[in-house]
């Protein structure tokens, strides 16, 4: 590579790959490919851009001597102007984890909440901004001092030919330890991505209501005529993180109210319906009933069950319950 033409190549690649991988994640790619696309965005690119901005120059192994009479230091001190490539890689992974953690914390405080749609764009934008800052920092360095990534694999590690603080010892254990540490960090990042914590699942169960106006007395039809067939619309939304099969049971109950509670005196099953709903989907049911009891203390109870209901469906053994006080006239 030439300092004049290629000193910004690695940072340009970071910007391009960040945009491409982010687009790939949001394009609908799933499974192992999605994990592989996300790992470098989480454990490498943000930190590499930050380290490049902080240390735009290459290592310069100069020695600074000391006045032994004043300091007591007879040996020269090795002064390095930049970082070795392997040091940059290690710091890049560490800083990436720290930056992504900070972005995750900040996005959890936003209206969008903690989600891939907020964390990943924030990480991508920060990475691009830091990479542009790093390009500016390298540009201000003298051409002969700019850092350029090595083209060979051997240039990534500490070697005996390169003067370092480890010159007097075997560098192989350090290189092996660094490689193992990086592999463990990447593996832990992949595990965290593939095993994201999920909140407890739940199911939404409701009945359709009328349009509310200034003349609305109740949110639903509450007065019926005995012997006339009626319909009620129920809505089921599955947020259980997996496909569920539901059964809805419609009961007509005669009740009395006292001390803030209700006592059921008579129950009659009106209708039941089953539906299989995929995770994240919404299903609407049309339930029919023909009221036979005449009273002003009646209650239409809709019971939702996961799977088949028991022999005697009640509000106590149902998964979800909707209770609608109604009046039936003769």
Q: What are the pLDDT digits (tens) for 63-101?
A: 555 555 555 555 555 445 567 777 788 888 888 888 888
Sheet holding 261-277, edge to edge: 223-225, 320-329, 295-306, 244-258, 261-277
Percent of the chain with pLDDT over 70: 72
Residue 326: per-residue pLDDT: 86
Pick the range with the lowest mean pLDDT from 131-140, 141-150, 208-217, 223-232. 208-217
Q: How far apart are the first and last CA of the chain?
A: 93
pLDDT digits (tens, 9 = 90+) for 99-116: 888 888 888 888 777 777
> Is 49 within 8 Å of 113 (Cβ atoms)?
no
φ, ψ (nearest 5 deg) of residue 309: -75, 160
- Quick: pLDDT tens for 237-251: 998 888 999 999 999
User: What's the pLDDT at 177?
Assistant: 55
Mean pLDDT value of segment 7-16 = 89
> Which H or E run contains 62?
strand 61-64
The two tokens of residue 193 are 């991505």
Range 128-132 contact pairs with CB under 8 angstroms and sequence separation of 24 or more: 128/15, 128/18, 128/19, 128/49, 130/46, 130/49, 130/50, 130/52, 130/53, 131/11, 131/14, 131/15, 131/18, 131/49, 131/52, 132/15
Considering only residues 161 and 198, tell me which one the structure prediction assigns the higher pLDDT.
198
> Which is more confidently placed, 183 or 138?
138
- Residue 204 phi/psi, 5-degree rounding, is -95, 130
Region class of 113: left (phi > 0), else alpha (psi between -120 and 50), else beta: left
Asked if 6 contacts 151 with a C-beta cutoff of 8 angstroms, the reply is no
Query: Is the pTM higher than 0.75?
Result: no
User: DSSP string covering 210-268, please?
Assistant: PPP-TT-S-SS--EEETT--EEEEEEEEEESSS-EEEEEEEEEEEEEEETTEEEEEEEE
Q: At which residue do the structure tokens 């569920």 appear?
A: 244
């Amino acid at each position: 590579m030439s300092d004049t033409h290629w000193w910004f190549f690695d940072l340009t690649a970071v910007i391009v790959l960040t945009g491409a991988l982010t687009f790939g994640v949001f394009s609908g790619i799933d499974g192992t490919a999605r994990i592989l696309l996300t790992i470098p965005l989480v454990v490498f690119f943000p930190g590499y851009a930050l380290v490049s901005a902080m240390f735009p120059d290459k290592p310069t192994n100069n020695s600074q001597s000391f006045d032994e009479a004043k300091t007591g230091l007879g040996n020269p001190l090795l002064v390095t102007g930049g970082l070795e490539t392997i040091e940059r890689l290690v710091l890049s992974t560490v800083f990436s984890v720290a930056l992504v953690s900070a972005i995750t914390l900040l996005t959890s405080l936003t209206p969008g909440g903690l989600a891939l749609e907020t964390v990943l764009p924030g990480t991508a934008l920060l990475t691009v901004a830091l990479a542009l800052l790093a390009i500016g920092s390298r540009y201000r360095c003298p051409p002969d001092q700019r850092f350029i990534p090595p083209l060979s694999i051997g240039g990534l590690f500490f070697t005996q030919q390169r003067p370092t603080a480890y010159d007097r010892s075997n560098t192989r254990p350090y290189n092996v330890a660094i490689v193992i540490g990086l592999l463990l960090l990447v593996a832990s990042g992949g595990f965290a991505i593939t095993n994201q914590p999920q909140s407890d699942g739940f199911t939404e169960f409701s009945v359709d209501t009328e349009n509310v106006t200034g003349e609305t007395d109740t949110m639903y039809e509450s007065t019926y005529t005995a012997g006339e067939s009626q319909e009620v619309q129920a809505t089921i939304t599955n947020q259980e993180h997996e496909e569920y099969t539901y059964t809805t049971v419609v009961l007509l109950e005669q009740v009395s109210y006292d001390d803030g509670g209700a006592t059921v005196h008579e129950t009659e099953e009106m209708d039941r319906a089953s539906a299989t709903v995929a995770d994240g989907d919404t299903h609407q049911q049309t339930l029919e009933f023909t009221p036979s009891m005449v009273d002003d203390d009646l209650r239409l109870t809709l019971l939702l069950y996961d799977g088949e209901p028991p022999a005697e469906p009640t509000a106590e053994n149902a998964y979800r319950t909707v209770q609608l006080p109604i009046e039936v006239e003769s």
